[in-house]
Amino acid sequence: MSIEDAIQQREFHSEHHKALLNIMFTHNHLIGKINELLKGFDVTRQQFNVLRIIRGQQPDAAGINLIKERMIDKMSDASRIVERLRLKDLVSRTASQTDKRAAQIRLTAKGEELLREMDSPITDFGNKLLALTEAEAKTLNSILDKIHSI
């Protein structure tokens, strides 16, 4: 579906304005789809992001600062998200041996199992981008990287 059809607008101030609206519309579209997918696993996008960051650190633990640095949504409160995951028994939080103010965050067996269950549906969702050719995906990534540097 074209952006014109999606927002029922035929004219734009410029192609750049149209591109901006298209990016915003696409972002919201993808967020909605991802939220819908994650709802079935009883986790939010931010919680899923934190779980994946922690899994990526294994066998080492992850600290709150590392999680904050790597989060996609930089406005999220990593400490609060970790606490919610701990209450769901998806992560454990222990004091660091070297710095008692720092926490060592690790996945629990339940957290590891949940991520394993999510791997296939998340991969299937990502594979929908396979409608793009490899060259198109590379071009899209290059354009998006250029926009990130604004």
Residue 55 has pLDDT above 90, yes or no: yes
- Identify the CATH class of 13-148: mainly alpha
State pLDDT tens for residues 88-112: 999 999 987 776 677 899 999 999 9
Among 59-63, 72-76, 136-140, the range scoring the smallest mean pLDDT is 72-76
Structure tokens belonging to residue 78: 């990593």
User: With the CA atoms of 117, 60, 85 and 95 taken in that order, what torsion angle do they form, in degrees rounded to the nearest 10?
Assistant: 160
For the chain, what are the domain ranges?
13-148
15 band by pLDDT with thresholds 50, 70 and 90: confident
Q: How far from 113 is each of 34, 39, 42, 45, 50, CA to CA, in Å? A: 19, 17, 14, 17, 15
In 44-108 the beta strands, taken as DSSP E runs, fall at 91-95, 103-107
Burial of 120 by CB count in 10 Å (0-12 exposed, 13-18 middle, 19+ buried)?
A: exposed
Residues of the chain above pLDDT 70, percent: 98
